[in-house]
Structure 1
């Protein structure tokens, strides 16, 4: 598995260690590499330069350690997927990558033509949504038959249903309040301020905003606003009546499926990236740009508890199909089949 886990610092010292995941022992290598910003400056394409640096460092580890896998797998197209394809071709080994990006901006520094050329020999792609698969096919990057759709999955040990009223008492929230939850970066893409405006439009609603960023919500009735450790989010979701995320772009949104695992009805975007996880039974789909549509959906669920309860049940039913272990089994089978094992 090739993963770009080393962004954010200019230089990273050599590291090599092992981790236990259940009965499996995983060897992890973090070779020295310089990270570079994307774009061009002084005639230098930093996106391509970083890709070469990342690919060279990965090849060095593979060759020095004598690693001979059955397949190379890159997590996201840039730089890991492109690196997996390159090294797979050199070693005549099957290559795969996951496409979970929220947009095709990752291609801006490389150019579609060059990306097509590098990826044309890959055996398969793990796409997190049907919408992402369509993007790859429409841009002529990957043939449709090479792409499997596997929506993101839930760790049910972390996200599960708790008694709402016990949780509210623990957090010192009122049993009488109608509470909306939001999880995501406080940004235009995620829609934190659009939701904030919608809540003020409805009035009398309490809210939980989990995240951070420049576009902080400022509506009346905020019970909590700020970042939490991932393990803490479940408790706050279980205190809510509905989850709202008017997002503009996603691959497949983890925050939505985690809220579903807590039994929350969902109000989110009507755009195609949500099609694999949301339907009329468990969600209200809205134009994510429209504050009025967001407000109307919130008011409708507040005023219709029977419908809210049915949608809660539907969210739990859908969440049961999105277990992390089941997803891993399906992806492993896909890789085996596409590799010819």
Structure 2
């Protein structure tokens, strides 16, 4: 099939880490034999960024129309996001017309891109599908006039939701349940797998004599890097690895690694750790958790619906993400029991087979084909 993907959350030479999970999925579409074109709108302000050599092997044809953004602020009944949306709609129309793109259906990643795609391409009379991976759709709807939002989503043939929470929110918007396919995010198990712990610690000059806790994500309050740091500070012989960046920068004697690292290094550094900790307050479907499980790490994370969709008690302990004492207790209970930790690691590796990206890509396309036949 010929697939047109619309997503502004896609890596580029100027922003190689953006939307890596979208990139990985779409590359699988190509590997399954489909012809994929991608329209990934690019904020005109990013043109000043320095380019890298590559963000990975690209099997699709990517078009990058420039858009103007006015952020997302509510001024009376007007939201400034409308400026970016109109610019994106114009760019999508221009690319499809200029390059005479042919497609059997449109696959948009995230609701905002889907709404833009619908209003840019509805005259082509092709089916639209949207992947929903936001942490919350309710807040997003406030950016649009109610009638405009409702009319737009009525034109979507099917939705791929990454959690039951998002599926239920879609049903709340009046979307028929049989038009929604719930499938959590997945990882490439040929890249994310368990390496030798000692070898990875030696490679990255990490201490051999400490138990290591890994955190991957933006250093933002809702992700909880400082709560992780606070939870490990009172534990003996425990260090923390922080992979990411952001305003809540963890600092202290317990921090043994802190760096924004390319995706190629994440599985190696995860393999150097003993457990993975992420006290997040909200997610769509957490790629970092799926990656940690694939590397055989026991997980301490949040007792929230979207994380519960990903984690099984056989390899995880889920707690109130704001309760640092509960975090500390959960981390300590796993690190102090080597036999339990080993068993949880085995269970994580086995469970990760349910989140293989090739299988996810095939399942999504089977859902799309089924909806198109109906």
SS state at 2:44 partner: coil
Give the match for residue 293 of structure 2: 260
Give the match for residue 16 of structure 1: none
Residues matched between the structures, number: 332
In structure 1, C-alpha distance between the alignment counterparts of 2:119 and 2:306, rounded to whole Å? 29
SS state at 1:93 partner: coil
Q: Deviations over 1:47-103 (max 9, x none)?
A: 22321221122122223333231111111011x110233345322211011100122
Moved more, 216-225 or 262-271: 216-225
- Aligned-residue CA RMSD (Å): 2.3
Residue 12 of structure 1 and its aligned partner are, at CA, apart by 6.3
Alpha-carbon contact 1:251-1:273 (below 8 Å) kept? yes
In structure 2, C-alpha distance between the alignment counterparts of 1:220 and 1:12, rounded to whole Å? 39
Structure 2 unmatched ranges of 5 or more: 9-39, 49-53
SS state at 1:231 partner: coil
SS state at 2:273 partner: coil
In structure 1, C-alpha distance between the alignment counterparts of 2:147 and 2:227, rounded to whole Å? 37
Select 1:184's aligned residue among 217, 224, 236: 217
In structure 2, C-alpha distance between the alignment counterparts of 1:167 and 1:12, rounded to whole Å? 36
SS state at 2:66 partner: coil
In structure 1, C-alpha distance between the alignment counterparts of 2:106 and 2:348, rounded to whole Å? 35
Structure 1 unmatched ranges of 5 or more: 14-18
In structure 1, C-alpha distance between the alignment counterparts of 2:358 and 2:64, rounded to whole Å? 26
SS state at 1:230 partner: coil
Note closer, same or farther for the CA distance 1:178–1:76 as it changes in structure 2 (3 Å cut). Answer: same
Give the match for residue 157 of structure 1: 190
Are positions 1:275 and 2:308 aligned together?
yes
Alpha-carbon contact 2:198-2:272 (below 8 Å) kept? yes
Give the match for residue 255 of structure 2: 222
Are positions 1:62 and 2:96 aligned together?
yes
Note closer, same or farther for the CA distance 1:281–1:242 as it changes in structure 2 (3 Å cut). Answer: same
In structure 1, C-alpha distance between the alignment counterparts of 2:289 and 2:352, rounded to whole Å? 10
Q: Segments of 4+ in structure 1 off by > 6 A?
A: none
Moved more, 321-330 or 37-46: 37-46
Alpha-carbon contact 2:302-2:319 (below 8 Å) kept? yes
Give the match for residue 322 of structure 2: 289
SS state at 1:106 partner: helix
Alpha-carbon contact 1:115-1:141 (below 8 Å) kept? no
Give the match for residue 32 of structure 2: none
Residue 121 of structure 1 and its aligned partner are, at CA, apart by 1.8
Alpha-carbon contact 1:12-1:34 (below 8 Å) kept? no
In structure 2, C-alpha distance between the alignment counterparts of 1:220 and 1:103, rounded to whole Å? 36
Residue 36 of structure 1 and its aligned partner are, at CA, apart by 2.4
In structure 2, C-alpha distance between the alignment counterparts of 1:34 and 1:221, rounded to whole Å? 43
Alpha-carbon contact 1:187-1:214 (below 8 Å) kept? yes
In structure 2, C-alpha distance between the alignment counterparts of 1:43 and 1:115, rounded to whole Å? 14
Structure 2 matches for 1:187-202, cutoff 5 A?
187-202=220-235
In structure 1, C-alpha distance between the alignment counterparts of 2:235 and 2:126, rounded to whole Å? 57
Moved more, 218-227 or 103-112: 103-112
Note closer, same or farther for the CA distance 1:296–1:112 as it changes in structure 2 (3 Å cut). Answer: farther
Q: Deviations over 1:89-148 (max 9, x none)?
A: 32221101110012233333214543222111211011111121112223x152222110
Give the match for residue 343 of structure 2: 310
Alpha-carbon contact 2:43-2:67 (below 8 Å) kept? no
